[in-house]
Every structure is written in C-alpha cells, then in structure tokens.
Structure 1
Amino acid sequence: MQNKEVCEEKSVNEKNLEIFNRYFPGCLSMENGNQLTLDTEKLKALLGDFSGIKEEGYGLNFVGKKIALTQAFKKNDKILKPLNKSTSKHILIKGDNLDALKILRQSYSEKIKMIYIDPPYNTKNNEFIYSDDFSQSNEALLKQLDYSKEKLDYINNLFGSKCHSGWLSFMYPRLLLAKDLLKKDGVIFISIDDNEAAQLKLLCDEIFGEGNFVADFIRKTKSTTNDAKTGVNYQHEFLLCYAKNKEFVNLLGGEKNLENYKNPDNDPNGAWINDNPSAKRMTPNSMFKITNPYTGKVDYPPVGMSWRFSQNTIQKHIDEGRICFKKKHKDNERGFIYKRYLKDLKTTQKTFDSLAFSDNCYMNQAATKELLRLELAEYFSYPKGVDFMAKIIEHATEKGDTILDFFAGSGTTAHAVLESNKSDYQKLSEGGGVI
C-alpha cells in the first residue's frame, strides 16, 4: 500500500503547476507537443499591470477591460456600518455590490461554499445602468492605464450604454472578487439569457479557467412568448455553473426515492426493481431473441433498439438469477424480469440533471405568484422562485456552508436558505437530535 501511495504522489513540478493554475487560471496552456506556454500579458494583468492588455475589436479584449481590472484591484475606502446590533448569523448588505465584495473579501476570502447571482441581462428593456465610480482623477487614470483623454471619455460614455463592452466591464471586477471568496470546493451559479450568455461563458472561462466549467443548466421561463416573428416559441434561459477547482466539486444532493426497491422473492442479492433491459442503440450482436422456457414467449428488443447486453452476458444473468422468467404473463408483457439491484447503485444520492429546471414549477410565473401573495410583485421583474433556489442549495451545499448572493433582488436566495435551515431543524428535531 505504501509503495502505491509513493507512486501516485505528485511530483514537485506537478504540485507547483497545480498551485499556479489555481491562482492564475488561463495563464498557462499546452502547445507545440505538450510544451507549456505562459501568457505573460495575462499574468501581468492578474498581478496588477494592465499596460499590455489590448482593447481593440470584439471578444475578451473588450473596450474598458483595463478600467474593469483596476476596479477589482483598487483599494477599498468603504466600511460596513451595522444599522443595529443583531445576533443573527445572516448578513444583508445595502450598497454597491463592488464595494461590498471588497469588504467581504477581508473576512470571507476562500470561505464561501456557494455563490448565486442573477445579474442584469443587458436587455433593451433593462433600465440598469453600469456606472461604476471612477473616482481617481483623470490625470492619474490616464497615466496608469496609458489612455488618451479622448479614449477615457469614450469609455465613460460607453458604460452608460447597452453594449457588450459596458456589461462585461461591469461584470469583470465583480466575478474576479467572487472567485477570491469561494472555497477550494466552492461553486458559482449565474442566471443569464441569450443577450449575454456567450460573453459570460468566455468571461468565466478567463476568470475561473475553462477547465473549471461545471455545467450549463436550462430553466423554463414561460409557456408562451409574445415574439412570433421567427415562429420559435422561446421558453428558456441559462444557469451557468463554474467551480473554484472542479477537482473538488460534487453536486450530488438529497437521497433518491428508493421505495420501489423490494425483495418479494428473498433474492440473496437484496432489494431490486424490474428494469428495462433494452437500450436506444442498434448493436448487431445484441439483436437476438430471448425465449421463456415456461410459456414459450419469444421476446425481441423493441423496434429501433437492442438489448443492453450480448447473448453471453444475458445467459450469465439468467444463470445468476438476475433475469427471471415469468410462469404467467399477459400477451403484451415481456416474458422475463430484469432485476436492477439496490446494491449496484453507484450512489443513493440524486444527480443534478442539466434539465432539472425544465418543469413548469420553475417558471417566472410561479415566482411572481409568491411575490403577489406578499404584495411585492410590482417591484421585481422576472423573479426566480424559492423552489429553484432550494434545488441549487440542496445540490451545492451542506449544513453549515456559507452562501452569497450579491444581486439580491427580491431576496429569493435568502428565503430559500431560511426554508432550508427550517427544514433541517425540523428533521433534526423529529430525529431526536440537538442543534
């Protein structure tokens, strides 16, 4: 065992490379026959030198990128002032979220398990203005960023418009700070629609590292759409998920419903369910007949499908009792049972399906009903529901984890956290536990 551990231990170079990529994602790449290539300009930018950043054209070299980076690295001169004394473990901060993130970094660096944000979507109907405060004197800013006065004026005007560069410049420093707050096994979820989904994906690839992309979930937003120009009924938006370090992420959550697993025949392998032995593929050596020796019933795979297993494997399952032939069955029934044993499940926890939010219960309408009940619907557009947030929390966190939402909106994240805590307390109380 010791020899195996020694063989599997990472070399000093591998450990150094892992640490470098953790703190400077996207700066190293493998090129020219697995040769490491260092993007020195990107590295210098992450260390505070923005002079080599190009801003011409479209893409991640967007206009205003230098200013966006200075916003993240600029020292914070704000303080957090409590309105009253409280013993609550929860914190609600009112103010510019860029300032708040810098303040939180002082006490919560690498301590947040999950971040969820629902940022402005940069739509034509969105009234949000991306107007970060560039309080430095123009002379200091021009010198630091190597700008002409004309270019600085152009960028300042740009931030008041609905363009990609303005939106990216607004999001960039906030996501950089968010990354610093995440634990090594932490994840961030970001709701977005088509207006900025492509830009957000590229931005997150740069900040978190392309290899730390976890998933792109689909959320159903509505049943119908008012835009009939293309004939497409557009009903969804996206939920991007990135990790601080994907190697440490596990989004399994909650226990599967296993009540259908029974053992009516006292099978020594334990509880089982009658599973489907066919698969949606056409494999020539899996297109044979299976004959019931009791009734003579002959079964073939359904049309367009084949058996999951070869003939030899099927015979092995018959010999082991995994496949059992029925002594009585209806004419339209399969003549055998294929057992899937509970003990063979890789995990009893639920997987986090990328289509988990495609049901109607996650639509905007459901969230609006919640706000109508609270007489708050007129104040919040396109809210997310508590059930939506609860499922994310179920899969991404454990008891005692810290959750952050720096675009709080209607407070859905806080609501879902409180409901989750209440549920955990109820389960513990019913089980005779103590908090």
Structure 2
Amino acid sequence: MISKDKAHQSELNILDSSQVLVEDKNQIIEKLKQLLPDVINSDNQLNTQALQDVLDIANTTSNNQGYELTFAGKGIAKAKADEPTIKELKAELEQSKDFDNTENVVIRGDNIDTLKILKANYTNKIKMIYIDPPYNTKNENFVYNDNFKKSEAELIKEFGLAEETQNFLTNVYGTRSHSGWLSFMYPRLKIARELLKEDGVIFISIDDNEQANLKIMCDEIFGEENFEGHIHWRRRSNQPNDKTKMIGLVAEHILSYSKNSSHLKSTGVGKIALTGSFSNPDNDPNGAWASKPWKVGSDQNGSVYSITLPSGNLIEGEWMGDRNTYEKLISENKIYFSSENSLPRKKYYQKDRLEEGQCATNWWNHKLFGNNQEANSLMTELMNGKKNVFSNPKSTILITNLLNVGNVKNDIILDFFAGSGTTGDAVMKLNAEDGGKRKYILAQLDEPIDEKKEAYKFCKDNNFDPVISSITIERLNRAGEKIKADIQAEFDTENSKKKPNQEKLTELQEKLDNISKLDIGYKVFSLKDKPCLSEVTNDGGQVSFVPQNLRERTIDTLANMLCATCKPLHTKIETLIEDKLYKTDNEMYLLGNIDKSELNKYNDLKINVDGYSDLDLEHFLNLGVTDKDNVSVVY
C-alpha cells in the first residue's frame, strides 16, 4: 500500500472517492469566502445574519422567523448527507449478465452509501431519477436502519446535544415517526439532487401519510421554483368499499421536481403518447381525425361573421378564425358538421399529432398509465405463474410514461429504491420500442425476506440468496428475455397470416432491429468496506498500522478507480498488461510495477496509480515517464 504521506511529499495528486463529499463542501466554503468574505467566520461557520444583511432582507434583525419544515434530527440529517462513506464497490460477476459489454448497473446495499459512491462519478450526469421509497405506515420499523454509527455520535458531540436529546434522536432514527421518515429521506434526496443534470428531473411516488411533508422538504432541497407538478395516479382499476374509511384510496401521489426549471424548459420537456378518439367516418384522404369547436369559448375573442349551415340556415357567431380562413378550411374538407343544424367543428389529424405528443396533465388514470393489477399480472407471468413473489410492484406503463415526460432518450436513469426492478424493465421496454440508448442504475438493499413469504420459497427454489435484491436481479433477467421474445413472436404471428398488415409488419421489423442492439445485461455490484489502515499495538506496546479490507480482485480495483476518477461504471477499459496496466480513452490505470518501456508509449496520458497496490512509488517516479502533475494516486 502506498503511504498517503509519501504521495503528499512527492507532490502528487491524491484522489479518494470517500472524501468527495467533504472536498465539495470545502470548495463551496472557499467560493463563499471569495465572494462574500463577511458571511464565513474564522471557524468556517456561516454567519446567517451577515448573509441576510448582504441580501438586504427587510426586518431581519427584528424577525428572523421563516417558513420551513422542521423535524427532530434535521440538523444531523443534513450533516449525514456530507458524511463520507466507508463503503466501496465489489463486482458480483455470477449475478451479472454480460458484465463486460452492458451499460446498465445494479448495486446491492444501503442506498445512502450507494449515492455517496455515485456522487464521485455521476454528479451532474443523471437525466432522471424515479423512486418509490418505503411509505410511512407507522406500524413497523424501517428496514433501512440509519442508526448512529461512531461518526454520527461525533456529529452529536459537534452539535452539543444534551444526553436526553441524543437518546431521543437515536430512538427517532429507524422508526416510522414523521421525524424518523424525514430524517431518513433528507440526506438521500440532498445527494440525489447533486447527481441530476441541469435539465434533470426527479419523480417521487408517495402516499397520503407523508405527501405534505415531502412537498415542503423537496421545496427546500430542490427549490420551490423547480417544482414541476403533482401527479395523481389512479393505481387500481377496481373501486374499494372500505367501510372503515370515509374516502377510499384509489390514487397515489407522484411529486416532480427539476434541478433547474428554466434549463429544463430551454432543452425541451417530454410528452406523453397522444390520446383521444380519432376516426375517419367520411374517408378523409388525410386519415383519422378528431375535431374541436370552431366557435370560440365564452372567455375567448374571435372574428364575428355569419355562417351557412348544411340545412341552409344562417347563423351569426364569434369564430376561431376570420372568414377567409374558414372558407379555406371548407374547401379543404377540414370543417365538420355532425348534423345539418350543428355548429362547425375544425378537424385535426392523428398523423400530425403523433410526433408532437401531448403535454402531461396531473391526473393519470389506470387505463392509460397502468395499475397495480396489471403490474401484479406481469410479475406473475415473469415468475412462471408464481404469485406474490413481490408485493405491489409498480407498473412499467407508469414508468415508461414518466420516462417520456422526463424527455429521457439516450441518458442515465437512476432508481435507488429499485424494489422489483420495474424501472429497469421499463427502460428496456422503451429502448425496444423506439431504439433509444437509455441506461439504468438501480440500487436495492439486501433486505432479508420473511421465511413465510412466497418470495422466500422462490429464492430458495432457484438457489438465490433470500433477499429482495435477488428478486430485483432475476426480474431484470427474465424481463429482458421476455421483451425480445414477445416482439419476435408478434412479428412471426403477423408474418404468418395470409394477408399480413404491411404497416404493422414494418413497425415490428423496426422493433426487431431495435432488439438486435438492445442491452438487456447488467453489471451487479455489492458494497464492502473500503481498504484502510488499522492501528495495531504489539505486546511491547509498539504501534503500527496494518492495511485492512484490501481488494482481492483487479476488477474491484478498476471499478473503484473509475469512481474516484469520475468515470461512469460502463466506461470501456482496455487491458494492456494483465493485473498491472489498463487504459480508458484518455487515462491510464497502473496497478503494479512495470517496465519503463511499457509506460513510455503513453507518456502523454494521465496516469492513475492504485494507492492500495504494492507498487514502489519512488521507483515509479524515478522512471521519469511523465510530469508529476499528470500522476494521481487513487484510494
């Protein structure tokens, strides 16, 4: 292992993905010092009164009360987002599918650690986030256990909390109280925002219990000006008759925020598929059409003139366009009368609207946007008829519509509460439909499955670990194969007909072309403790530092070096010397001692040295193959 002190003394760059969060915070402090030196004191603490004075907020000294969401543990929840993680990635090759070629990623483990790892190499790179976090049902504890670790105890000490307050907060964490749930969500959403591109969006599914609190918290984290909408999704097709409730629950909430609303609008928002009743009762050569009134509404202004109805009756009114426009539309057969005395209606054609799509509304019904019954049926089908392998999976139809609204085409989608893997399934489905190159990153806790559950038996029968992430991964495996098989079967069925529909065959052939390039693979990673130096005292009282948790495989070293050097996990890596030297497009990764002649070929590229390797740093520097500024030691 290369000593950090030695690397410092050699004036080399040091990269440590676990310190990214702290370094980012320090950079913000330095920028504030440069711009507004009065608002940061000598202890690097923010002087809020000085900041208010700079902003010239009226009555700041007499009334510094503001509107915000407060909850027990909020300060520590904020600090937790900046706390470095002690975890790193470990490749799970046996669980992966087409590891070397796929651009999709699944990460098993606590998503707070996953998000902190991803921050190193995915900041400002995620186009869309969808999450369906655990709802606060208040009748059980969290599976995600954000209990205080040693570092969090230090945070409590830093905050100067009384012992009874410490005990209270310790009890709050990991419970389904409002404060517990909000303390759990706050740091995850705070980091999630930083991962989004400037035109990125996040959609969050939530129920009634925390919807109001979540809205206020997201206003704080994302900015109220970046609130894009509140979708009400009818999640069930049947009507409940729950006599214990005054109002039966048929809908869930989906809150949407952008990272930068003005930037999102400038790059273009997405649309949902065109809806409406289109038909062609008069055999119009322009194809199927629908219509809308030519007469203006009561709150609109138009042109006043008389129109002759098919019956011969003359009617005066205020119309959408002037007389010349109306006469032109009549001559083009673009005005429709439903009866001899009905008012005129203007036609609009399906073919003209298909590419445009239509703006999403805040009410999504179960017929067009999927529902729980449909999602459960699909899950049962994927699991060979076995029911209840996963309870209440989300609908792929719902997620594909969110992908369209988010205007996601060739970008990365993140879901850090992956559950049954619906988001990954939806990404593959949409890529098969339109030939897109979307990529997904899914994170799911290794949540143990109750032995009484059907999912436990499913895992045991298939030699999987009985944890939820096993269901996530197997669903992705089966869904990808099913997507390809279904499209091929649909093409074969249509093509075998005596008179196949040529238009449909052409459409299906395009989908066949799409699935020939469809990425249905996924790289699976789990989380392990990062390598570190542990203090050891021998019998003689001498203290030494011994490396712990060292990586055993090159593939794990490379994955974590990609993170630390801000490279996506799907980055292609070229092997130059097995276990020692690797290359990406513009950087080298050195994992062991090699000859100078090998490095001289690449002396114009940046060299990243594995800090946990047994490489002789002094010998490497004496080779003189490149400038020190071009060398980084990666931990």
Question: Where on the TM-score scale, by shorter chain, does this alignment land: which range?
Answer: 0.7 to 0.9
CA–CA distance in 1 between the matches of 2:171 and 2:420? Answer: 30
Please state how far the C-alpha of 1:251 moved relative to its aligned partner. Answer: 3.0
Give 1:122's aligned residue: 136
Is 1:78 the counterpart of 2:87? The answer is yes
Please state how far the C-alpha of 1:226 moved relative to its aligned partner. Answer: 4.7
Please state how far the C-alpha of 1:238 moved relative to its aligned partner. Answer: 0.8
SS of alignment partner, residue 215 of structure 1: strand
Assess, with a 3 A threshold, how the Cα gap between structure 1 residues 376 and 145 changes in structure 2: closer, same or farther. Answer: farther
Is 1:277 the counterpart of 2:286? The answer is no
Q: How high is the sequence identity, in percent, across the aligned residues?
A: 34
Give 1:200's aligned residue: 214
SS of alignment partner, residue 239 of structure 1: strand
Is 1:68 the counterpart of 2:77? The answer is yes
- 1:224 aligned residue (220, 229, 239): 239
Structure 1's unaligned 5+ residue stretches are 1-15, 17-26, 41-52, 302-306
Is 1:370 the counterpart of 2:378? The answer is yes
Structure 2's unaligned 5+ residue stretches are 1-34, 36-47, 436-508, 519-635
CA–CA distance in 2 between the matches of 1:158 and 1:326? Answer: 65
Please state how far the C-alpha of 1:379 moved relative to its aligned partner. Answer: 4.0
Assess, with a 3 A threshold, how the Cα gap between structure 1 residues 231 and 394 changes in structure 2: closer, same or farther. Answer: same
Give 2:114's aligned residue: 100
- Please tell me whether the aligned partners of residues 159 and 166 of structure 1 are also in contact (alpha carbons under 8 angstroms): yes
Is 1:413 the counterpart of 2:423? The answer is yes
Please state how far the C-alpha of 1:133 moved relative to its aligned partner. Answer: 3.6
- Please tell me whether the aligned partners of residues 334 and 347 of structure 2 are also in contact (alpha carbons under 8 angstroms): no
- Please tell me whether the aligned partners of residues 324 and 338 of structure 1 are also in contact (alpha carbons under 8 angstroms): no
Q: Deviations over 1:23-48 (max 9, x none)?
A: xxxx9xxx99xx754999xxxxxxxx
Assess, with a 3 A threshold, how the Cα gap between structure 1 residues 170 and 39 changes in structure 2: closer, same or farther. Answer: farther
Please state how far the C-alpha of 1:248 moved relative to its aligned partner. Answer: 2.3
Give 1:153's aligned residue: 167
* Structure possessing the higher relative contact order (Cα contacts under 8 Å, 6 or more residues apart): 2
Q: Deviations over 1:35-62 (max 9, x none)?
A: 754999xxxxxxxxxxxx99xxx96121
- Please tell me whether the aligned partners of residues 380 and 389 of structure 2 are also in contact (alpha carbons under 8 angstroms): no
Please state how far the C-alpha of 1:126 moved relative to its aligned partner. Answer: 5.6
TM-score for the superposition, normalised by structure 2:
0.52
Give 1:423's aligned residue: 433
SS of alignment partner, residue 181 of structure 2: helix
Assess, with a 3 A threshold, how the Cα gap between structure 1 residues 124 and 280 changes in structure 2: closer, same or farther. Answer: farther
Assess, with a 3 A threshold, how the Cα gap between structure 1 residues 162 and 280 changes in structure 2: closer, same or farther. Answer: farther
SS of alignment partner, residue 253 of structure 2: strand
Assess, with a 3 A threshold, how the Cα gap between structure 1 residues 61 and 308 changes in structure 2: closer, same or farther. Answer: farther
Give 2:466's aligned residue: none
Instruction: Point out the more displaced range, 134-143 or 342-351.
Output: 342-351
Give 2:251's aligned residue: 236
Give 1:354's aligned residue: 362
CA–CA distance in 2 between the matches of 1:187 and 1:275? Answer: 34
- 2:269 aligned residue (246, 251, 267): 251
> 1:183 corresponds to which letter in structure 2?
K
Q: Deviations over 1:50-92 (max 9, x none)?
A: xxx99xxx96121010111121000111111111282221111
Q: Deviations over 1:108-129 (max 9, x none)?
A: 1110111000001101456534
Assess, with a 3 A threshold, how the Cα gap between structure 1 residues 38 and 174 changes in structure 2: closer, same or farther. Answer: farther
- Please tell me whether the aligned partners of residues 336 and 345 of structure 2 are also in contact (alpha carbons under 8 angstroms): no
Please state how far the C-alpha of 1:350 moved relative to its aligned partner. Answer: 3.0
- 2:393 aligned residue (374, 383, 404): 383
CA–CA distance in 2 between the matches of 1:39 and 1:103? Answer: 42
- Please tell me whether the aligned partners of residues 191 and 238 of structure 1 are also in contact (alpha carbons under 8 angstroms): yes
Give 1:8's aligned residue: none
> 1:338 corresponds to which letter in structure 2?
K
Q: Deviations over 1:342-381 (max 9, x none)?
A: 9997972332232234437622111111122215643433
Q: Deviations over 1:201-256 (max 9, x none)?
A: 00110000000001111111222225324443321011111001111223323674
Assess, with a 3 A threshold, how the Cα gap between structure 1 residues 277 and 367 changes in structure 2: closer, same or farther. Answer: same
> 1:247 corresponds to which letter in structure 2?
S
Assess, with a 3 A threshold, how the Cα gap between structure 1 residues 347 and 213 changes in structure 2: closer, same or farther. Answer: farther
CA–CA distance in 2 between the matches of 1:91 and 1:265? Answer: 49
CA–CA distance in 2 between the matches of 1:170 and 1:326? Answer: 57
CA–CA distance in 1 between the matches of 2:412 and 2:239? Answer: 37
- Please tell me whether the aligned partners of residues 294 and 327 of structure 1 are also in contact (alpha carbons under 8 angstroms): no
- Please tell me whether the aligned partners of residues 317 and 323 of structure 1 are also in contact (alpha carbons under 8 angstroms): no
Q: Deviations over 1:145-184 (max 9, x none)?
A: 1211110110111123321111000000000010011011
SS of alignment partner, residue 378 of structure 1: coil
Assess, with a 3 A threshold, how the Cα gap between structure 1 residues 398 and 327 changes in structure 2: closer, same or farther. Answer: closer
Assess, with a 3 A threshold, how the Cα gap between structure 1 residues 347 and 411 changes in structure 2: closer, same or farther. Answer: closer
CA–CA distance in 2 between the matches of 1:126 and 1:279? Answer: 58
CA–CA distance in 1 between the matches of 2:299 and 2:228? Answer: 32
Please state how far the C-alpha of 1:130 moved relative to its aligned partner. Answer: 5.0
Assess, with a 3 A threshold, how the Cα gap between structure 1 residues 286 and 63 changes in structure 2: closer, same or farther. Answer: same
**Pairing 1:292-311 to 2, within 5 Å after superposition:** 292=308, 295-298=311-314, 309=320
> 1:317 corresponds to which letter in structure 2?
T
CA–CA distance in 2 between the matches of 1:39 and 1:392? Answer: 43
> 1:389 corresponds to which letter in structure 2?
I
Please state how far the C-alpha of 1:131 moved relative to its aligned partner. Answer: 2.4
Assess, with a 3 A threshold, how the Cα gap between structure 1 residues 60 and 428 changes in structure 2: closer, same or farther. Answer: same
Assess, with a 3 A threshold, how the Cα gap between structure 1 residues 308 and 111 changes in structure 2: closer, same or farther. Answer: farther
CA–CA distance in 2 between the matches of 1:284 and 1:174? Answer: 47
Q: Deviations over 1:286-317 (max 9, x none)?
A: 7989541663235588xxxxx664xxx45353
- Please tell me whether the aligned partners of residues 206 and 253 of structure 2 are also in contact (alpha carbons under 8 angstroms): yes
- 2:342 aligned residue (330, 334, 337): 334
Instruction: Point out the more displaced range, 109-118 or 83-92.
Output: 83-92
CA–CA distance in 2 between the matches of 1:239 and 1:154? Answer: 32
CA–CA distance in 1 between the matches of 2:185 and 2:341? Answer: 57
CA–CA distance in 2 between the matches of 1:226 and 1:360? Answer: 23
Give 1:20's aligned residue: none
SS of alignment partner, residue 200 of structure 2: strand
TM-score for the superposition, normalised by structure 1:
0.73
CA–CA distance in 2 between the matches of 1:342 and 1:39? Answer: 58
Assess, with a 3 A threshold, how the Cα gap between structure 1 residues 236 and 332 changes in structure 2: closer, same or farther. Answer: farther
CA–CA distance in 2 between the matches of 1:264 and 1:419? Answer: 35
> 1:380 corresponds to which letter in structure 2?
F
